[in-house]
Chain A
Amino acid sequence: MSVPILEVLDLHAAYGRIEVLRGVDLTVPKGAVMALLGPNGAGKSTLVKVVSGQKRATGGDIHLGGVHVTDADSAELARVGLCTVPEGRSVFPNLTVQENLVLMSYAGVPADAVLDTAFSYFPRLAERRHQLAGTMSGGEQQMLAMSRALASDPALLLLDELSMGLAPLIVDELYDTVAQIAESGVSILCIEQFARTALRVSDYAAVMIGGRIVATGEPAEILETMDDVILGGVA
């Protein structure tokens, strides 16, 4: 097996005195789509924050494509091909669509190419290129956010709760886009509290509870063994 695109070893992280990640071990193979499931408060978003360099780990290691990247700066990681789409609307509301797209070129792809890719995938964005991003609907904003994943040609894509606050039909469309990105060979770690849509497009799944990964495997087996955990573990 080739070097995994993401390898997380015994990762710890805390907010103040409260430890949120308590030894996370996770491997995402190159070219694979992995869904990370788990109840609210399991530490999934914290894991994304630590892997993407937004939050410091208190212990453990992260390897990205075989390179040790623990405590690397998030801008640095973004420039070497880690594309993180954080929870919520990850666009700049007070900039126009086009300006948002221009900023995406910081990841290394020229601005013109970013615009081309984004507009060819989402023609609606082209119509609204001079509109302020914050004035678009939630779905359109999420399209704009996904444009970064599409256009910046990342090595690994981290998606955090893509579906949050969106109408189901739009979520379906977004996950179609995720599937397309996956087909182009991009590795994806996709975090969802509610599993089914995410599992539809993924090759592997992992379940996180209480700051640890408690199970990994094919989506089907995960569903079989962990269903009560995924859905019931919340309470």
Chain B
Amino acid sequence: MSTFLAFTIFGLFSGAAYAIAASGLVLTYTTTRVFNIAHGALGMVMSFLFWDFSVRQGMPTWLALVLVLLVVAPAVGWFLQRFVCRGLGEGPVSVSLVVTVGLLVGCIGLATQVWKPEARSVMPFLPDTRVQLGSITVTGHQLITILLSAVVAAGLFLLLNRTRIGTAMRASVDNPELLKLFGGRPDTAAALSWAIGTSLAALAGVLLVSQVGLDYYALTLLVINAYAAAMFGRLKSLPMTFVGAMVLGLSTSYASGYLPTEGIFNSVRNVMPALFLFAVIVALPQAQLRIGQVKGSVAAPVPSTPKALAWGAVLLGVVAMLSGSMSTANLLLVGTAATYAMVMLSLVLLTGYGGHVSLAQLSFAGVGALAYAKLDEPSLYGLALASLIAAGVGALVALPVLRLTGLYLALATMAFGVIMDKLVFQHESAFGFNGTLPAGRMSFFGTAVSSTGGYVMLMAVFFVLMALFLLALRRGPLGRVLIAMRDSPAACGTLGLDMRWFRVGLFALSAGMAGMAGALFAGLRETIGAADFQFFNSLPLLLLAVVFGVTTVTGATFGGIGLMLMPVLQSDYPELSGLIFAVIGFGAVALGRDPNGLANLVFKGGRLAQTRLLPRVRASLPELPARGEAAPDPSYDEGADAPDQSQQKEVPVHAAP
């Protein structure tokens, strides 16, 4: 009995902390319609700051608390609303997801840069206070946390219902323009909600840090608990959010107390929040199709087939040259870049064309790799089967949530990523705890491609084929339907399209592409483990894809190279390892609004060169030789809008080698 009570107290304590974090999340979401994926990361940074103030600089605890909770956190929240998240709420969900994921990664980078990894600890509050309740003991820290959650609940209630600014916050959700006509300032309301939200994230972080430890990732991902609680309140009801947080806190606590410590259940304890999140999302009611939200987005042009073929040939040529001359270590890097680029191609399909965000694309690659290694059938057949299995898993993730869209789908993939990380990949029958599996190099109709150079070449061929497939798909009917679905789901519905199955298919195809990349990667590395496909690494992958342009093959190519270079740079300049993360994170924050990314700039530059410079160059030449011998076309231009007609004339010079 007393152990039960002890677990109850502990559950209430963690529930209270989750509730504080979740209420901050709900507050910012309801007032600005931006779901802040980085909520936990902000709490993490604030906890480090608290450690810095109270332990490293030796400030009195109360002063450190005041500085963190009442000065720095609100200031950061205000800044984020003003300069990062303003106007995001009205845009597509995918953009606000990418921007806040960028914020998350940026925060982690910042924290690792400022506070280098070392052992740190933060003492609980009131370490000497113990309250005896019958046979069980409640620590002062637990008591404070539970009391604080009640204070936060009451405070938020009073703020939102009894003050003018609180009323204005609720009003600005409905109609910010009208609030302005009333003389109110929606921006002030939004900034205040972000200030309070960030402060609550900080409070939750500071309260949990003595329990969880100062860790960049653990604190950041603790926010999944908050997501789950917030979803329980449907992202709008604060009371239900508190209930959800308590249910989650208690069930996690009981799970750790009573589930057997052996077998699968041991891992289940670690993924309770993710399972809870998944369950809550699945139970959400169907979102109605919304009308009147159509925004045609400026899409990057699709290249004509000859152009795409030509560039594919160029790429293969480059890889062929490299594979003949490079060291094995470097070749492995090229192969890795190809893998990432292929995974990013799967994101081009899902995010760039389809408008859905996956936060766990590497986990799908992991499924493919695992299947490939387990099948032990290193041939095209094995590769195809592994891709199919990954596609099936992708469909399975999308199926329960096929009624939902946008944010919920993305969070479902996040829960999936965490479950794969902690439950599936680590399982004995998979990679095993910190284990690896051997994987064979692929053979082609009986001929094994055993040299690393050859294998890298093979991967490049697969990348080019995948890219050509993607472009063909985009130009074909399915691609048009995808774009139509992104532009106006309501119109697609009234034209008779069953978007749920289409979405599942899209998800499956994208997962299958990622799975194929994973399987090829397994063959490249010859040993493969869970560490290669950590959920968290899916986030920088997504960000780099967006930064370089998630709507184009070019973006995926550069993104893959960029992601491959990241760890290389980090090991070359260990003192800057955090900075690299921060640059990518904050870069995505800056560029996340334009899904066409840097690749589009390249195209624009190319077009400019073509239209402005080329005529001048030609004019300066007295007599132009036959066109086939002209200098290589400087524009890496993915063609114009109407590929069928206008493109045929300007077959690039490289097309006929």
Contact present between A and B (CB < 8 A): yes
Residue numbers of A with Cβ under 8 A of B are: 52-54, 73-75, 78-79, 84-86, 90, 92-95, 99, 102-108, 111, 148, 152
- A90 to B, closest residue via Cβ: B178
Tally of A-B residue pairs with Cβ under 8 A?
Answer: 66
- Identify 21 residue pairs between A and B in the complex whose beta-carbon atoms are under 8 Å apart, listed by A's number: A54-B177, A54-B180, A74-B181, A75-B179, A78-B181, A78-B182, A78-B183, A84-B181, A86-B177, A90-B181, A92-B174, A92-B178, A95-B174, A99-B171, A103-B179, A103-B182, A103-B184, A104-B182, A106-B184, A108-B183, A111-B164
Interface string of B152-179 (1 = CB under 8 A from A): 0000000000001001101101110111
Given A92-B175, A92-B178, A102-B164, also A107-B183 (CB < 8 A): yes
Which single member of A95, A108, A152 contacts B170 (CB below 8 Å)? A95
Which residue of A is nearest B187, CB measured?
A: A75
Q: Quick check: A75 and B184 within 8 Å, CB to CB?
A: yes
Q: A52-B181, A78-B183 given as contacts; is B174 within 8 A of A106 (CB)?
A: no
Q: Is B374 an interface residue (CB 8 A)?
A: no
Are A107 and B182 in contact, CB atoms less than 8 angstroms apart? Answer: yes
B234 at interface (Cβ–Cβ under 8 A)?
A: no
Selected contact of B164 from candidates A54, A73, A78, A103, CB within 8 Å: A103
Contacts of B171 in A (CB 8 A): 92, 95, 99, 103
Residue positions of B touching A, CB distance < 8 A: 164, 167-168, 170-171, 173-175, 177-185
CB-contact partner of B168 in A53, A86, A90, A106, under 8 A: A106
Contacts of B185 in A (CB 8 A): 75
Tell me whether A86 and B174 are in contact in the complex, defined as CB-CB below 8 angstroms, given that A103-B167, A111-B164 are known contacts: no
Give Cα distance in the complex from A186 to B167, angstroms.
Answer: 28
Tell me the dominant secondary structure on chain B's binding face: helix
Q: Of residues A52, A54, A74, A107, which shows the largest number of chain B Cβ atoms within 10 Å of its Cβ?
A: A74
Give the complex CA separation of A127 and B44 in angstroms.
Answer: 49
What CA separation (Å) do A107 and B179 show in the bound complex? 11
CA A145 – CA B171 in complex, angstroms? 14
Chain A's nearest CB lies how many Å from the CB of B436?
A: 55
Shortest CB–CB separation between residue A101 and chain B, in angstroms?
Answer: 10
From B168, B173, B181, residue with most partner A Cβ within 10 Å: B181
Q: Which residues of B contact A94 (CB under 8 A)?
A: 170, 173-174
> Cα distance A115–B107 when bound, in Å?
47
Contact between A78 and B178 (Cβ–Cβ < 8 Å)?
no
Among B164, B170, B175, B183, chain A packs the most CB atoms within 10 A around the CB of B183
Q: Across chains A and B, which 9 residue pairs bring their CB atoms closest together, nearest first?
A: A106-B183, A78-B183, A107-B183, A74-B180, A75-B180, A106-B184, A92-B171, A79-B183, A84-B181
What 17 new A-B contacts, CB under 8 Å, besides A90-B178, A103-B182, A107-B183? A53-B180, A54-B177, A54-B180, A54-B181, A73-B180, A74-B177, A74-B180, A75-B179, A75-B185, A92-B171, A93-B174, A94-B170, A94-B173, A95-B167, A103-B168, A104-B182, A106-B183
Complex-state Cα separation, A53 to B181, whole angstroms: 9
C-alpha spacing A147/B309, complex, angstroms: 68
Q: Report how far A94 CA is from B173 CA in the complex, Å.
A: 10
Nearest-Cβ distance from residue B184 to partner chain A, whole angstroms: 4
> Residue of A at shortest CB range from B172?
A92
Residues on B with beta carbons closer than 8 Å to the beta carbon of A102: 164, 167
Q: List chain B residues, Cβ under 8 A from A111.
A: 164
CA gap between A86 and B176 in the complex, in Å:
13
**Considering the chains assembled together, what is the distance between the CA atoms of A54 and B167 in angstroms?**
22
Closest Cβ of chain B: how far from A47's Cβ, in Å?
Answer: 15
Residue in chain A with minimal CB distance to B185: A75
Contact across chains for A105 and B164 when beta carbons are under 8 A apart? yes
CA distance A93 to B173 in the complex (A): 11
Residue of A nearest to B188 (CB): A75
B161 to chain A minimum Cβ distance, whole angstroms, is: 8
Point out the residues of chain A lying under 8 angstroms from B175, CB to CB: 92
Residue on B with the closest CB to A111? Answer: B164
Q: Note all chain A residues with C-beta closer than 8 A to B173.
A: 94
B127 to chain A, nearest CB (A): 45
Contact A78 B170, beta carbon cutoff 8 Å: no
Q: Could you tell me the distance between the alpha carbons of A53 and B180 in the complex, rounded to whole angstroms? A: 9
